C-alpha cells in the first residue's frame, strides 16, 4: 500500500536532496501504481525517473533513496513479524512448529530467507559505511584505464555514497526506522480490523499477534516479482498463517486476505490516479523512460572529460564521510 512517505523525505534530506512531502507522496503513489500495472516492479524505475525529471535529483541518489527505504521497510516488517512470533511462542511453544509443519511452510521459509538476507545486507552496509571509507578511491583507481567502466563505477559509487551518508547518521537511522515502523503498523492494523470484521473467532491479543505475523510473512513472500502486484502470493501466505495459528476457517482467512490486499491496492490506484492528474505522467510512460535510467545515471555522473572531477570527487567525499550542502526545499 502506498502511503505518504516521510521516510523517503528523510532519506533524501539526509543525502542533500530535501523535497516536499506533497510531491514525494505523489511520486510514491505513482511508482506503487506502476508496480501494480507494469511487470517486474517497473515502479522502482518510475520513482527515480520522476525525481530526476521533475526535481533534478540524480539517478544514483534516486535509486539510493529507494534502496535505503526498501531496506528499512523490510527491517520494520521483520521486526514486527519477530515480535509477533515471540508473542505466539510465549503463549504456545508449539505454535512455530505447527506453522512449519503446515501448508504455510513454503511462505514462512521464503519470508525467513528474505529476512535473513535483509539483516545480512543491512549489517554489511553499516560495516562498510563505518569502517572502510577509502573503498571509493580504490575502486576508482582499479578502473582508471577504462573510461566506460569509470562512468558506470562512478554512478554506483554515487548511490553507495548516499546510502553511506544515511548509514553513518544515527539520528537519520532512528527517524527513518521509526517512520517505517509506524507505516507498517498501520498496514497491520488494517488487516487486523478486516479479520475482526469477518469474525475470525480470535480474542484481541491472539488476533493482533496472528494478524501481524500473517501480514509480515505475506509481504515478505511477495518480495520476488513472481506475480503482478504480489497478487496471489500475499493471499496464500496470509491465509496459510492464519489457518495454521487460529481456529479461523480457510474461507474466512482467504476472504480477509483478499479484502485486505484489495483495500490497499485500491488506495494505491486512487492515489496513483491523483498523481497522474497532478504530475501529468502516466505510469507506463514513466516506467518505459525509467527503464533507461541506468544508462542515464552513468552519463549524469561523468559529464566532464575527466570523471574524477565534479561528481567523481563528490563520490569520494561521500564515501569518506563528507556531504554536499542540501539543495533548496521543495513545496
The pLDDT tens digits of the residues spanning 135-178 come to 666 666 776 777 777 677 666 666 677 777 787 788 888 888 89
Q: How would residue 278 be classed by pLDDT, with cut points 50, 70 and 90?
A: very high
323, burial (CB in 10 Å: exposed 0-12, middle 13-18, buried 19+): middle
pTM assigned to the model: 0.76
Q: Is residue 329 part of a domain?
A: no
Is residue 312 domain-resident?
A: yes
The total of other beta-carbon atoms located within 10 Å of residue 12's CB is 28
Mean pLDDT of the chain: 77
For residue 166, give the nearest of 149, 180, 150 by alpha carbon.
180
**Residue 172: which domain range?**
6-319
pLDDT at 5: 56
Cα(271)–Cα(6) distance, integer angstroms: 16
Q: How far is the C-alpha of 117 from the C-alpha of 261, rounded, in Å?
A: 25
330 domain residue, yes or no: no
CB 87 within 8 Å of CB 221: no
Q: Does residue 331 sit within a domain? A: no
Contacts of 127 (CB under 8 A, 6+ apart): none
Residue 34 within any structural domain of the chain: yes
Whether residue 1 is contained in a domain is answered as no
Nearest Cα neighbor of 116 from 81, 86, 66 is 81
Secondary structure (DSSP) of 223-268: -S-SSGGGTTHHHHHHHHHHHHHSS--HHHHHHHHHHHHHHHHHHH
Decide if 179 is inside a domain. yes
Buried b (16+ CB within 10 A) or exposed e, 260-280: bbeebbebbbebbeebbeebe
Give 302's DSSP letter. Answer: -
pLDDT over threshold 90, residue 210: yes
Is 91 within the bounds of a domain? yes
Cα–Cα distance measured from residue 140 to residue 137, given in angstroms and rounded to the nearest whole number: 5
Least confident of 105-109, 110-114, 261-265, 306-310: 306-310
DSSP structure class, residue 18: -
Tell me how far apart the alpha carbons of residues 139 and 35 are, in angstroms, rounded to a whole number.
33
Our count of domains for the chain comes to: 1
Burial category of 76 from C-beta neighbours within 10 Å (exposed 0-12, middle 13-18, buried 19 and up)? buried
Q: How many CB atoms lie within 10 A of CB 322?
A: 12
Amino acid at each position: 500500500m502506498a502511503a505518504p512517505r516521510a521516510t523517503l523525505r528523510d532519506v533524501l534530506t539526509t543525502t542533500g536532496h530535501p523535497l516536499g512531502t506533497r510531491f514525494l507522496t505523489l511520486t510514491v503513489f505513482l511508482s506503487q501504481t506502476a508496480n501494480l500495472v507494469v511487470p517486474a516492479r517497473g515502479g522502482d524505475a518510475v520513482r527515480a525517473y520522476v525525481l530526476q525529471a521533475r526535481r533534478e535529483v540524480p539517478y544514483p541518489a534516486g535509486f539510493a533513496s529507494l534502496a535505503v527505504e526498501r531496506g528499512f521497510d523490510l527491517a520494520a516488517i521483520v521486526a514486527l513479524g519477530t515480535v509477533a512470533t515471540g508473542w505466539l511462542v510465549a503463549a504456545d511453544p508449539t505454535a512455530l512448529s505447527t506453522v512449519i509443519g503446515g501448508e504455510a511452510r513454503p511462505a514462512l521459509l521464503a519470508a525467513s530467507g528474505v529476512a535473513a538476507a535483509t539483516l545480512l545486507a543491512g549489517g554489511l552496509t553499516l560495516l562498510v559505511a563505518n569502517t572502510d571509507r577509502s573503498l571509493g578511491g580504490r575502486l576508482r583507481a582499479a578502473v582508471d584505464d577504462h573510461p566506460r567502466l569509470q562512468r558506470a563505477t562512478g554512478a554506483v559509487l554515487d548511490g553507495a555514497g548516499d546510502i553511506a551518508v544515511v548509514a553513518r547518521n544515527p539520528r537519520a537511522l532512528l527517524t527513518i526506522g521509526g517512520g517505517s515502523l509506524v507505516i507498517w503498523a498501520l498496514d497491520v492494523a488494517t488487516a487486523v480490523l478486516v479479520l475482526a470484521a469477518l469474525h475470525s473467532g480470535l480474542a484481541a491479543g491472539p488476533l493482533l499477534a496472528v494478524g501481524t505475523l500473517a501480514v509480515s510473512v505475506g509481504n515478505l513472500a511477495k518480495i520476488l516479482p513472481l506475480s503482478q502486484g504480489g497478487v496471489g502470493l500475499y493471499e496464500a501466505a496470509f491465509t496459510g498463517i492464519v489457518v495454521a495459528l487460529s481456529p479461523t476457517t480457510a474461507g474466512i482467512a482467504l476472504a480477509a486476505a483478499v479484502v485486505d490486499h484489495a483495500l490497499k491496492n485500491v488506495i494505491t490506484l486512487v492515489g496513483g490516479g491523483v498523481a497522474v492528474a497532478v504530475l501529468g505522467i502516466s505510469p507506463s510512460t514513466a516506467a518505459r523512460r525509467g527503464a533507461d535510467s541506468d544508462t542515464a545515471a552513468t552519463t549524469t555522473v561523468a559529464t566532464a572529460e575527466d570523471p574524477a572531477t565534479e561528481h567523481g570527487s563528490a563520490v569520494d567525499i561521500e564515501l569518506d564521510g563528507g556531504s554536499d550542502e542540501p539543495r533548496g526545499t521543495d513545496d
